[in-house]
């Protein structure tokens, strides 16, 4: 899902013209389209990560309840630990997502600032 972020520099280099070629390509439309793609991608990824966090949180809650009823059940304790670890990883993925977004927005702003200024601020 991070393909657009991985290839943003390439996309900007191939679609946003340098000063010498600025008359040949509509840089404003290109930058606006790329910004829309970034926003759509971020929205989808954020939604997917939060949906996963919600599902794992529900599982953790159920396992806690099962552990409360039978604290000596090794299987429940093992599964609870595994699900808690999974939950922590998914929550840290939200932090990683912010770092990726900031990096992509900085690159975008650097190349498109003269062609397109989004109505929303670039930093979240």
Q: How far apart are CA 96 and CA 104, in angstroms?
A: 12
Cβ–Cβ contacts within 10 Å for residue 66, how many?
Answer: 16
Q: Is residue 124 scored above 50 in pLDDT?
A: no
Instruction: Report pLDDT for 10.
Output: 73
Task: Indicate if the pLDDT at residue 97 is higher than 70.
Answer: yes
Q: Do 53 and 90 form a contact (C-beta atoms < 8 A)?
A: yes
> Is this structure's pTM higher than 0.85?
no
């Amino acid at each position: 899902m991070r393909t657009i972020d991985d290839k943003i520099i390439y996309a900007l280099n191939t679609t946003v013209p340098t000063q010498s070629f600025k008359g040949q390509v509509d840089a404003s439309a290109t930058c606006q389209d790329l910004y829309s793609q970034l926003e759509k991608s971020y929205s989808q990824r954020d939604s997917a990560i939060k949906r996963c966090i919600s599902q794992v949180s529900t599982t953790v809650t159920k396992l806690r309840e099962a552990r409360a009823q039978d604290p000596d059940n090794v299987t429940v304790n093992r599964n609870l630990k595994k699900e808690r670890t999974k939950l922590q990883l998914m929550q840290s993925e939200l932090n990683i997502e912010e770092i990726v977004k900031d990096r992509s927005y900085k690159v975008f702003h650097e190349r498109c600032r003269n062609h397109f200024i989004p109505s929303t601020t670039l930093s979240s």
